[in-house]
Amino acid sequence: MKEILQKNSKTNVKIRESLEDEYKFGFRTKSKYKFKAKKGLNKDIVAEISYMKNEPSWMRDFRLKSYDIFLSKPMPLWGADLSDINFEDFYYFLRAQDKSVKSWADVSPEIKETFDKLGIPEAERNFLSGVGAQFESEVVYHSILKELEDKGVIFTDMDSAVQQYPDIVRKYFSTIIPPYDNKFAALNSAVWSGGSFVYVPKGVKVETPLQAYFRINAKAMGQFERTLIVAEEASSVHYLEGCTAPIYDKNSLHSAVVEIVCKENSNVRYTTIQNWSKNVYNLVTKRAKAYKNAKMFWVDGNFGSKVTMKYPSVYLMEEGAHGEVLSIASASSRQHIDAGSKIIHNASNTTSRVISKSISRDGGRTTYRGLIRAENNIEKMKADVVCDALLMDADSRTDTYPTIDVDNAKRPLIQHEATVSKIGEDQLFYLESRGLDYNEATSLIVSGFLEPIARELPMEYAVELNRLIKLEMENSVG
Amino acid sequence: MNGIKTIYFKLSDSLKKEYADTYIIKRGETLNYILFADSPGEYNITLDFILQGIDSFCYVYILEVGRADFYNSRKGNIPIHKFNLNISSIHKSPETNARTVVRRVMYNNSESYINGLIRIDRNAQHSFDYFDEKTLLLSDNVISKVVPALEILPDDVKASHNSAMSEINDDEIFYLESRGLDRSIAENLIVKGFLESQLYPIRENKVYDTIMSDINKRFLCI
């Protein structure tokens, strides 16, 4: 008995320590900026960004047109509360370094310090095929393994891609998510900067993941990266992204657009571990189009941010396409995570699967908002949706709003189920009776709850996810 | 004391196309509500069930048979079946239980839109709710949209929903046909079982026989 008590008091100290340092990426580094656009948003700023990047005229026109669309679109009235966002309050463009470099040694010291603290170069050495690191508005560092470069794989930042590969970029850019899709897609189209461009040629399989890392460092910063992934026939690629930011009293805005093209028989996996600090509005549009027999997987982990509205979607365009979304949301105090998925079955014999797991604690709110749509006159589609929500205490809230929409489909098979529960007393009792304390038991149960998703992550990330959950849980019961 | 109230509402009894009702279930009361919607036409129905007292229970069973041009082929006017249902169960006090079951059988070009909401308020701890929607398709031209929603505020509750849609299983049809039944009779038999299987909570009730005879009339198996 004494031993158990001692053990408990030890964990209590640990909990207190972790409470004090709740968000471990909250540090900020001092940076000198090469260029900082004026605060606020107007046509001149949009034109200035384009000028600074020395862009071709088609891109400049595209930005200006998108800005007009942005002004004409109303703010979304559904979902999370966005009334606090004032678009004049943000800096839309910050240049931290003259250009993106390929060698870690050439990265400027302040930026290097930031990414060293986040462990980026270490991760690259250990298990990645390529790395891109974005600091504020632009990518400061990117690298890719020599073998892959020789095979024709392109992994670079979007700004360089516009200059170096204009043909491919122009062919696919904004075809998946046009600027008139929604207000934030229009905003991104107008002021986009940075992001990754991945092109995998026919038949090439990229075995280890490519990673991009996004960091907001300045106060009241708006980060608008734009990512385009093109997977040609029978290719495969796994792209990972991670995001962090320091804590300021002013809110930041992150509004990305991610477009993915999965050609015949290709296999694309896109993993996000979003861990923004709790002053970031994360309003992201992500969409993939999957063609014949292609497979598209979204793995989406949402832990940070003040407000997240993100619905990764897959458009199944041709026969045999498969789309899958695995999503985790964890919200604690002052957080509202409104995540979900959209699957549009646009062809016969298409299949999809959605697994969503959410955890709300300390007054946080999670929402699942999903759509399964079978378009007109398609045959034999199959869709399976599972949403599980875990409520850790009485102050939190969880909502589920799935939509299942079928138009004249022949032989569809659609299943949806959702449950809300708390951690079972009997499960806790079982583990506690075997000598685990309350915190250990809770984090073990939560890890088990997330297991179907952790299984899909690469080894190192699964470990990281479990560690993150443990940390979050310790805070929650401290 | 514990009042058990059973309401059976057959849509064809009423010519009202717009219909909205709120039921408040008080402490210790049980409400069984059965809606049988099988007549053609365009309907807009809103049903709210508010569980206001401790230990109240509510069982809602919606049977929808969408046969767009089944009747009207005789009558000669344009046949439609457009069914718009908003159903919500709202838990306002602790230890309240509810179960909503929707069974739809869709023929021809029926249209059906269902919004099912489960809302459990902050103080309604230890509540239980389940929204169960299943659809049997007997046609390729059905239009359907289902939005089951959960809004859960307290933590010690159980709330789930499910929604599923498929055709009649080929094996089941084959089994019955191989025993000498016509395809149409085999289909009717399966549909009947599909609709009847969820009537067990009111088996003891007088209304049960009425509902059974209504289902039997609609799906002849001889």
So what's the ipTM on this one?
0.77
In a domain, B113, yes or no: yes
**Pairwise CB contact (< 8 Å): A398 & B163:** no
In a domain, B43, yes or no: yes
Residue A322 pLDDT: 95
Residue A165 pLDDT: 93
Residue A39 pLDDT: 85
Residue A443 pLDDT: 82
Residue A18 pLDDT: 44
- Mean pLDDT, rounded, for B27-40: 88
pLDDT of A468 strictly over 70 = no
B129 CB-near residues (< 8 Å, 6+ apart): B89, B91, B97, B98, B99, B100, B118, B120, B157, B158, B159, B160
- Range list of H helices, chain B: 72-75, 170-178, 183-196, 207-218
Band the pLDDT of B2: cuts 50, 70, 90: low
Residue A104 pLDDT: 74
Question: Which among B125, B151, B155 has CB closest to A399?
Answer: B151
Residue B184 pLDDT: 87
pLDDT of B73 strictly over 70 = no
Question: Which among A402, A408, A412 has CB closest to B147?
Answer: A402
- Mean pLDDT, rounded, for A247-265: 89
Shortest Cα–Cα distance, B113 to chain A (Å): 9
Question: Which among A398, A414, A419 has CB closest to B164?
Answer: A414
Domain ranges of chain A: 1-21+436-478, 22-435
Residue B109 pLDDT: 81
Residue A1 pLDDT: 44
Identify whether the C-beta of residue A190 lies closer than 8 Å to the C-beta of residue A198: no
The percentage of residues in chain A with a pLDDT greater than 70, rounded to a whole number, is: 88
User: In A, which residues are within 8 Å of B163 by CB distance?
Assistant: 402, 404, 414-417
pLDDT digits (tens, 9 = 90+) for A283-338: 999 999 999 999 999 988 888 889 999 999 999 999 999 999 999 898 988 899 99
Top-ranked range on mean pLDDT: pick from A126-130, A217-221, A292-296, A436-440 = A292-296
Residue B202 pLDDT: 84
**Pairwise CB contact (< 8 Å): A393 & B140:** no
Half-sphere exposure of B7 (CA within 13 A, CB side): 16
- Mean pLDDT, rounded, for B167-183: 91
**Pairwise CB contact (< 8 Å): B145 & A404:** yes
Shortest Cα–Cα distance, A433 to chain B (Å): 22
Q: For residue A401, what is the nearest residue in chain B, using CA coordinates?
A: B149
In a domain, B28, yes or no: yes
- Mean pLDDT, rounded, for A359-363: 87
In a domain, B140, yes or no: yes
* Interfacial residues of A (vs B; Cβ cutoff 8 Å): 389, 391-394, 396-422
What gap in Å lies between CA A279 and CA B97, rounded to an integer?
39
Nearest partner of A23 among A463, A251, A449, A333, judged by Cα? A333
Shortest Cα–Cα distance, B175 to chain A (Å): 20
**Pairwise CB contact (< 8 Å): B160 & A420:** yes
Identify whether the C-beta of residue A274 lies closer than 8 Å to the C-beta of residue A309: no
Residue A17 pLDDT: 45
Structural domain span for residue B135: 4-168
Q: What is the DSSP string of B32-72?
A: EEEEEE-S-EEEEEEEEEEE-STT-EEEEEEEEEEETTTSH
pLDDT of A475 strictly over 70 = no
Residue A124 pLDDT: 64
Band the pLDDT of A344: cuts 50, 70, 90: very high
User: In A, which residues are within 8 Å of B150 by CB distance?
Assistant: 389, 398-401, 418, 420
In a domain, B181, yes or no: no
**Pairwise CB contact (< 8 Å): A400 & B161:** yes
Residue A123 pLDDT: 64
Question: Which among B122, B141, B164 has CB closest to A415?
Answer: B164
**Pairwise CB contact (< 8 Å): A403 & B146:** yes
pLDDT digits (tens, 9 = 90+) for B85-122: 999 999 999 999 999 999 999 888 888 999 999 999 99
In a domain, B155, yes or no: yes
pLDDT of A465 strictly over 70 = no
**Pairwise CB contact (< 8 Å): B140 & A397:** no
Residue A319 pLDDT: 93
pLDDT of A21 strictly over 50 = no
User: In A, which residues are within 8 Å of B149 by CB distance?
Assistant: 399-402
The percentage of residues in chain A with a pLDDT greater than 90, rounded to a whole number, is: 40
User: In B, which residues are within 8 Å of A418 by CB distance?
Assistant: 148, 150, 160-162
Residue A473 pLDDT: 59
- Mean pLDDT, rounded, for A28-41: 79
- Mean pLDDT, rounded, for B165-170: 89
Least confident of A8-17, A193-202, B42-51, B101-110: A8-17
Identify whether the C-beta of residue B152 lies closer than 8 Å to the C-beta of residue A401: no
End-to-end CA distance of chain A: 21
Least confident of A49-58, A212-221, B133-142: A212-221
Residue A16 pLDDT: 43
Residue A2 pLDDT: 47
**Pairwise CB contact (< 8 Å): B152 & A391:** yes
Q: What is the DSSP letter of A38?
A: P
In a domain, B218, yes or no: no
3-state helix, strand, coil in chain A (%, to 5): 30, 35, 35
Residue A135 pLDDT: 80
Residue A167 pLDDT: 92
Shortest Cα–Cα distance, B117 to chain A (Å): 9
The better pLDDT of the pair A203, A213 is held by A203
pLDDT of A101 strictly over 80 = no
**Pairwise CB contact (< 8 Å): A402 & B163:** yes
pLDDT of B131 strictly over 60 = yes
Band the pLDDT of A19: cuts 50, 70, 90: very low
The total domain count for chain B is: 1
- Mean pLDDT, rounded, for A235-246: 84
In a domain, B84, yes or no: yes
Residue A461 pLDDT: 66
User: How does the average pLDDT of chain A come out, rounded?
Assistant: 84
Shortest Cα–Cα distance, B121 to chain A (Å): 10
A141 CB-near residues (< 8 Å, 6+ apart): A100, A101, A102, A104, A107, A111, A115, A131, A132, A133
